[in-house]
Chain A
Amino acid sequence: MIPVTETLIPPADAERSAGDVLLEVEDLAVEFRSDDGAVRAVDGLSYRVEAGRTLALVGESGCGKSVSSLAVMGLLPPTARVVRGTARYRGTDLLALSPTRHRAHCGTHVAMVFQDALAALNPVHTVGYQLTESLRSRTGTSRREARRRAVELLDLVKVPNAAQRVDEYPHQFSGGMRQRVMIASALALDPDVLIADEPTTALDVTVQAQVLRLLAEIQAERQMGLVLITHDLGVVAGVADDVTVMYAGRAVEHAPVRDLYAAPAHPYTRALLRSVPRLDSGAEVAGGRLPVVPGRPPAPGRVPSGCSFHPRCDMAQDLCRTVEPPLDDVAPGRSSACHFAAELLGGARA
């Protein structure tokens, strides 16, 4: 057993400059134990987070986007385990570390913002305590200094009356303010990479926009790498630089955000984009109904043969039912796991 002391905390952050590769996830696979045997929740996911850039992980519920980030943080539930792959933080594979050493990287280097702030914050401790408990427990900061820092953090996320509110409890905050507290608590140790798991899903639409803008501002100012997990492509457009679309535990498309919106290279992405309500194209939609992606995502453990999206795909051919398409480059900086990616892109250009 390694004693948990300050020496265990990895050394102070190196300077972040734009373009530094901070976190590199490669070929990550996570399995859940279940009554029907092992079930793959994530299968061969790779992505890379650079300083000053935002990567969006997009997909429907259950596609493995949250599970993959929990794996990176070492927070998988006891029924799940990483079966393959690496998650390198500035070259150190976090997944190969002992749980204690892995934990030491959390908060300082890679931090996480959770979805439902009311549940994710502890109801019995003040906001101030929760903002700085990591600081106090890990660096021995004094109570007074910690309080000053907590007020600073609340100011950073634009919570009004920070000096008073620091002594209040999470249930005394509104939903949007609570999510800001959640973000502030993740920023307490100035992490290099911030993973935000559906940070705005539980919020009103107007508050969503404010919180997203705040996240984007802080990310840009600090040159952090941000991983934004969401099921909402509308959210992605405003803040992300790159997008990885996930389906049934795999990445099916990766592209810079503009290219992806202009010309999706995977039928799933195309279907998702069509289902985003748009004010300008309302007239084109037949019958005034929003198109949906037909069918449901496959249950983990019952992923179809070949391309896992083929039962719901309007372009599916015989080939798709038998041969699994690899995630291949289709254009500079973008890749797609579709046999007909070239046709898709060509069709968009034509």
Chain B
Amino acid sequence: MGRYILRRSLLGVATLLLVMFVLHLLTTFAIQLNGNPALAFFGDKVPTESQLAAVETRFGLDDPCYDQTGNPCLGPFVERLGQYAQGDFGTNLRGREVTDIVATAAPNTLKLFLVVTIVWFVLGMGLGTAAARRRDRSADHGIRLTSVLIDAFPIFVLLLVYRYVFAVPLNGWAEDTFGAGSLPALWFRPSFDDDHPWATLLVPGILLGLAGSAAFIRLVRASQLESYAGDHVRTARSRGLNERHVVTHHVIRNSAVPVVTAVGLTFTEALAGAVVTEGMMNIYGMGGVLWEAVRAADVALILGIVTILAAVTVVVMLVVDIAYAALDPRIRYA
């Protein structure tokens, strides 16, 4: 088990380095092909030679390799790795530390994630289990139809429809009924409010969770049906165990491995969804910051945040791998 974890961890570190390198290559080529991002610092103004040179130095864009199209710029990459290793993620175009930005933005993203994860996990396990248990009956058909219906609406469509069709009338109704500033009024606020993070995150979180649950419901159902068909379930019943015990210990427990895989996949999907959600709902979180950074061509911020998100994903995948081994002894002893 120890060796298994060590092997997986090393693989995770290697993956992270690879992601960072690919990211570096992409931004390098973008700079080489699209021109100097230091110009973005000046907005509409035309800088003098010396001003431009000063800004280039400050953001580490002065290396001549950025002018040579096709040069992978390994020097700046190694330099940046060294800085990251010391906890220095650089500054954004306005001179604010990237770590500082992340420290204020990450808690909101985590709150959003908590809501999202609870929603899709509870919906997925609950509805998936119910559908499997009532296979081919109307409840099963209804749940499957609902999940396909949710799948037909991508997260940005859900959010657009919610924001432009439902949020304003619901907010107006809530303010009239419960008073402005009341909790229900905050729930339906069409944009994020820093003073009430939980209340204003709730609806976007539920919508994102709903979008994530659709495929998860079907996966939970399918993997549980496979367990139901297993001989070991018949054996468990032959021992005279009541059906609830059989379902929890022999059906749900045995379908845990594919479900955990899906947890990893759904997590990364939610990460991508969070970028869109935060951007569209003006949530000040990692995704929202990234969204703004890309629009402002803020290289240091983009690299910093994507690196952190990649690290989080690698850690989640590592946890999933370890969970596999914990859940299925055949993997542990392989």
Q: Do A and B come from one complex?
A: yes
Question: Hey, which bits of chain A sit against chain B, CB under 8 A?
Answer: 4, 73-75, 100, 103-108, 111-112, 114, 116, 119-125, 133-134, 137-138, 169, 171-172, 182, 185-186, 188-189
- Asked if A169 contacts B239 (CB within 8 A), the reply is no
User: Taking the complex as formed, is B43 at the interface, i.e. its CB lies under 8 A from any CB of chain A?
Assistant: no
- Asked if A119 contacts B242 (CB within 8 A), the reply is no
- Asked if A119 contacts B232 (CB within 8 A), the reply is yes
Given known pairs A121-B232, A122-B232, A123-B232, the reply for A133 and B330 (CB within 8 Å) is no
Stretch touching chain A among B27-35, B206-214, B247-255: B247-255
A residues less than 8 Å from B329 (CB atoms): 123-124, 169, 171
User: Taking the complex as formed, is B48 at the interface, i.e. its CB lies under 8 A from any CB of chain A?
Assistant: no
A293 to chain B, nearest CB (A): 29
Return the contact of A75 from the options B234, B244, B328 (Cβ within 8 A).
Answer: B234
- Asked if A107 contacts B238 (CB within 8 A), the reply is yes
- Once the chains are docked, how many angstroms separate the CA of A169 from the CA of B245? 20
Q: C-beta contact mask, B221-246 vs A, less than 8 Å → 1, else 0?
A: 00000000011101111111111110
B residues less than 8 Å from A186 (CB atoms): 238-239
- Once the chains are docked, how many angstroms separate the CA of A4 from the CA of B241? 10
- Asked if A137 contacts B231 (CB within 8 A), the reply is no
B107 to chain A, nearest CB (A): 37
- Asked if B240 contacts A133 (CB within 8 A), the reply is no
- Asked if B240 contacts A124 (CB within 8 A), the reply is no
- Once the chains are docked, how many angstroms separate the CA of A103 from the CA of B328? 28
B residues less than 8 Å from A171 (CB atoms): 329-330, 333
- Asked if A114 contacts B330 (CB within 8 A), the reply is no
- Asked if B239 contacts A114 (CB within 8 A), the reply is no
B residues less than 8 Å from A185 (CB atoms): 235, 239
- Once the chains are docked, how many angstroms separate the CA of A205 from the CA of B242? 36
- Asked if B238 contacts A100 (CB within 8 A), the reply is no
- Asked if A107 contacts B330 (CB within 8 A), the reply is no
- Asked if B239 contacts A133 (CB within 8 A), the reply is yes
Interface size on B, residues (CB 8 A): 25
- Once the chains are docked, how many angstroms separate the CA of A103 from the CA of B236? 11
- Asked if B238 contacts A112 (CB within 8 A), the reply is yes
Which single residue of chain B is at the shortest CB-CB distance from A135? B239
A residues less than 8 Å from B242 (CB atoms): 4, 100, 103, 137
User: Taking the complex as formed, is B327 at the interface, i.e. its CB lies under 8 A from any CB of chain A?
Assistant: yes
- Asked if B328 contacts A123 (CB within 8 A), the reply is yes
A residues less than 8 Å from B238 (CB atoms): 73, 75, 106-107, 111-112, 114, 186
- Once the chains are docked, how many angstroms separate the CA of A182 from the CA of B250? 16
- Asked if A169 contacts B330 (CB within 8 A), the reply is yes
- Once the chains are docked, how many angstroms separate the CA of A194 from the CA of B238? 11
Which single residue of chain A is at the shortest CB-CB distance from B253? A124
- Asked if A134 contacts B240 (CB within 8 A), the reply is yes
- Asked if A188 contacts B239 (CB within 8 A), the reply is yes
- Asked if A189 contacts B240 (CB within 8 A), the reply is yes
- Once the chains are docked, how many angstroms separate the CA of A75 from the CA of B237? 7
Return the contact of B328 from the options A73, A112, A124 (Cβ within 8 A).
Answer: A124
A residues less than 8 Å from B230 (CB atoms): 119
A94 to chain B, nearest CB (A): 12
B113 to chain A, nearest CB (A): 29
- Once the chains are docked, how many angstroms separate the CA of A89 from the CA of B159? 62
B residues less than 8 Å from A100 (CB atoms): 242
A240 to chain B, nearest CB (A): 22
B257 to chain A, nearest CB (A): 8
Q: C-beta contact mask, B167-190 vs A, less than 8 Å → 1, else 0?
A: 000000000000000000000000
A residues less than 8 Å from B333 (CB atoms): 169, 171-172
B90 to chain A, nearest CB (A): 47
B136 to chain A, nearest CB (A): 9
- Asked if A138 contacts B240 (CB within 8 A), the reply is yes
- Once the chains are docked, how many angstroms separate the CA of A104 from the CA of B240? 5
- Once the chains are docked, how many angstroms separate the CA of A82 from the CA of B328? 37
A171 to chain B, nearest CB (A): 6
The 7 closest A-B pairs by CB, nearest first: A107-B240, A106-B240, A134-B239, A119-B231, A122-B232, A169-B329, A4-B242
B residues less than 8 Å from A189 (CB atoms): 239-240
Given known pairs A123-B329, A133-B249, the reply for A106 and B232 (CB within 8 Å) is no
- Once the chains are docked, how many angstroms separate the CA of A120 from the CA of B330? 16
A residues less than 8 Å from B235 (CB atoms): 114, 120-122, 182, 185
- Asked if B241 contacts A137 (CB within 8 A), the reply is yes
Return the contact of B240 from the options A105, A114, A116, A119 (Cβ within 8 A).
Answer: A105
16 inter-chain pairs at a CB distance below 8 angstroms, sorted by A residue, are: A75-B237, A103-B240, A107-B239, A107-B240, A111-B238, A111-B239, A114-B238, A116-B231, A121-B235, A122-B254, A124-B327, A137-B245, A169-B329, A169-B333, A171-B329, A185-B239
